[in-house]
Structure 1
Amino acid sequence: MRVLIVEDEPFLAEAIQDGLRLEAIAADVALDGFAAQELLSLNTYDVVLLDRDIPGPSGDDIAREILTDGLGTRILMVTAADRLDDKAMGFELGADDYLTKPFALRELIMRVRALARRSPEAAPPVLESAGLRVDTFRREVYRDQRYVALTRKQFAVLEELMRADGGVLSAETLLERAWDENADPFTNSVRITISSLRKRLGEPWLIHTRPGSGYYFAAPTVEELT
């Protein structure tokens, strides 16, 4: 999952970003409307946390643009404006949910996950395939009923591969979806994470490599099971 935080208070934006990363959610930050427009033009986001009162194009303007694009990106408006009329206007602009400041970080994370599940292309909260069960809400993984402890990045990569339903994801795509805009495009983090994830899940391997293309999730072949 990838989230864009549009918030002009740097310390709050950083705190939200850190909190999301701890939940294996890639998060970028835009401190004004212009930065938000640029990031939205470059990346695909599942959810946008949108402060209405920001420099440059307002949060309302950004909401209208997201709605016009029709990409299914969910909008969670996060603002100090708590009057009923303010909330009504936010929903009229296309917001899917509304959270007033101050708020508990845990509540924000729960709302983000709930909105991501409402995306037209969202995977179900529990992914199951080839004896592997991944609960994306509780962040728990079981293989053949055996609990598998994963790091945040390992979990994020596994979720993306399972959501691809057998499709091949390049290292660049995994870097974009499981890390964020600050990730070094020349890093070998993806390869290292895939390698350690395979070992955690155990044999026979469920994550495969297609040379020159990327990685994909698939059930073991008959030969591998015998």
Structure 2
Amino acid sequence: MKTLSVLLVEDHLPIARQVTDFLEGHGWQVDHASTGKHALMLALEHCYDVVLLDLNLPDIDGTVVCERIKSSAETNVPILMLTARDSFEEKADGFGRGADDYLTKPFDLRELVLRCQALAKRNELHQSKVLELGELRIDITQKLAWRQTQALTLTTIGFRILVQLAQAYPNPVARSVLLHQIWGDTPPDSDALKSHIYSLRSELDKPFEAPMLKTITNVGYKLDLANV
């Protein structure tokens, strides 16, 4: 059994202790946050295999925490929501904010382990060296990309941006995250990123009927396969 790194976001301490003890009993590493602010700090500083996120937090609603992690974390970490909110509308809202799975309280800790393992495995497979998203295929090792079997002529930075977007799919990638991932601690101004996005879009979208690269206002960019 693979050892997983888990961030548990839960303000009810008895539940947090119970979940932590059970997961650590499987040899997993568990960090705990009791507030949304602390959860965001940990999620953006560390790379976890899974985030277990309670929705009823004392400072920030869990759905907002979910959105912020998905838009700003360096990796596309799977998020499993743990909550007593069990209506269809509330679940739909959670999935709409970027949740990958949903477990209603009270839950069986054995089922929680199985869901965490499934999410981590799915995410690991998603980070394959060859990414295939609909008609888009990316060979990370060879640094080559195709759409509809047509080879794309990309700059080095354009290719790296495309890989970041593909690995995060279907979630958006924040501009700040792209700047840090591509240029590290010495990013250029935002116009440089816009220029590279324009060049990438010219190669990835303009020769084809439906665009894949979408701008998300006040957030960043994402790949969209809905119309492809």
Normalising by the smaller structure, the TM-score range is 0.5 to 0.7
Cα distance, 1:53 vs structure 2: 1.0
For the 8 Å contact 1:5–1:27, the answer to whether it is kept is: yes
For the 8 Å contact 1:33–1:62, the answer to whether it is kept is: yes
Runs of 4+ in 1 over 2 A off after TM superposition: 120-124
For the 8 Å contact 1:72–1:120, the answer to whether it is kept is: no
Identify the match of residue 92 of structure 2 among 84, 88, 91. 88
Q: Deviations over 1:83-138 (max 9, x none)?
A: 111111111011110000000000011101110001146799xxxxxxxxxxxxxx
> Percent of counterpart pairs with the same letter?
42
Equivalence for 1:13: 16
1:67 matched to 2:70? The reply is: yes
1:6 and 1:122 map into 2 onto residues whose CA distance is 24
Which aligned pairs between 1:81-160 and structure 2 lie closer than 5 A? 81-120=85-124
Q: Which amino acid counterpart does residue 69 of structure 1 have in structure 2?
A: S
For the 8 Å contact 1:117–1:123, the answer to whether it is kept is: no
1:22 matched to 2:25? The reply is: yes
For the 8 Å contact 1:116–1:122, the answer to whether it is kept is: no
Cα distance, 1:41 vs structure 2: 2.5
1:4 and 1:122 map into 2 onto residues whose CA distance is 20
Q: Deviations over 1:16-60 (max 9, x none)?
A: 011111111111110011110121132111110001110112211
Q: TM-score, normalised by structure 1?
A: 0.52
Equivalence for 1:43: 46
1:119 and 1:41 map into 2 onto residues whose CA distance is 18
Cα distance, 1:5 vs structure 2: 0.4
Change over 3 Å in CA distance of 1:66–1:121 after alignment to 2: farther
SS at match of 2:123: coil
Q: TM-score, normalised by structure 2?
A: 0.52
SS at match of 2:116: helix
1:92 and 1:39 map into 2 onto residues whose CA distance is 23
1:121 and 1:72 map into 2 onto residues whose CA distance is 12
SS at match of 2:56: coil
Number of paired residues? Answer: 124
1:3 matched to 2:9? The reply is: no
Cα distance, 1:8 vs structure 2: 0.7
SS at match of 1:119: helix
In structure 2, stretches of 5+ residues that fail to align are 129-228
Specify which structure has the bigger relative contact order, considering alpha-carbon pairs within 8 angstroms and separated by 6 or more residues. Answer: 1
Equivalence for 1:79: 83
1:123 and 1:57 map into 2 onto residues whose CA distance is 30
1:51 and 1:26 map into 2 onto residues whose CA distance is 18
SS at match of 1:5: strand
Q: Which amino acid counterpart does residue 12 of structure 1 have in structure 2?
A: I
SS at match of 1:73: coil
